[in-house]
Amino acid sequence: MKIIALTAALVAAPFSAFSGSLDTAPDVQVVQPMPPVKAPKLAFTLRAGVSAAPAYFGAKDLEAGPDFGFSLKYLALPGGRTFGSTDPNAVNEGFGLRGSFRYIAKRSAKDDPELTGMGDVKASVELGLGLGYTQRNFEAFADVRYGAIGHHAWVGELGANAVVHPNEKLTLRAGPRVFFGDSDYANTYFAVSAAESTASGFAAHSASGGALTAGVELGATYAVNDTWGIDGALRWDKYLGDAKSSPIVQQGKDNNVTLRIGLVRRFSF
């Protein structure tokens, strides 16, 4: 009788009393849809490393210094207009915007005695934009920058590269470069005033703007992953025009060799 009474009680009990038993059907989980992932509005890369470059334009010897670089990878504008790609591995073929940045170290007679009598030139930072054209095995660019700190002059640069990809991580490039500066820029770095001529012994020299250097650059980029990379380059430039005829360059070298290597970091916002 006790067994019959116990069986009747179990049958009458609510089903929830058995949850978790071996006979209970598995719980049904409702999967909620994930919120949409917002695409970045801006993506760019920053490069930071070290370089070996002439102490000043026309110097004979190289000295170590910092190296910085900036490259615009993607920009979304109001109205749906976009430039570049959100994919860090994409080759953005066709025309696109690019950022342009250059740092120029100060020039001082205290650091370089051969310039005794010449006025010091402050360190400068140039900021600007450029237009680039890219294909898998070719790229070209035209950059315009303004001296936001230090010299307040306009400069520009034209360049092109042949590009090869030995593997999916390594990219090699090589091509010509031509650098332009306005008269304010040329006089800042290559002119010798009458007072400086008397104090230094250099002949007085007035420099006009135009094409100031031409050369070639060899570069390589290695992608460690989608965020980090290593980038380096070797560049040779020959002075042109009033830069070449400057007494500052003539007492030194009429060509430059620069080396740089650094880490590259991609940022998305």
Question: How many other CB atoms are found less than 10 A from the CB of residue 24?
Answer: 11
Confidence of residue 120 (pLDDT cuts 50, 70, 90): very high
Mean local confidence (pLDDT), 42-66: 91
Supply the CATH classification number for the domain 41-268: 2.40.230
Beta strands in 21-123 (DSSP E): 42-54, 62-76, 82-84, 94-104
Report the amino acid identity of residue 102: R
Residues 6+ apart with CB under 8 A from 78: none
Residue 36 predicted with pLDDT over 60: no
Domain locations in the chain as residue ranges: 41-268
212-236 pLDDT tens trace: 999 999 999 999 998 999 999 999 9
Quick one: pLDDT at residue 29?
45
Quick one: pLDDT at residue 41?
79
Quick one: pLDDT at residue 98?
81
Residue 205 predicted with pLDDT over 90: yes
DSSP 216-234: EEEEEEEESSSSEEEEEEE
Residue 259 predicted with pLDDT over 70: yes
pTM of the model: 0.78
Report the amino acid identity of residue 126: E
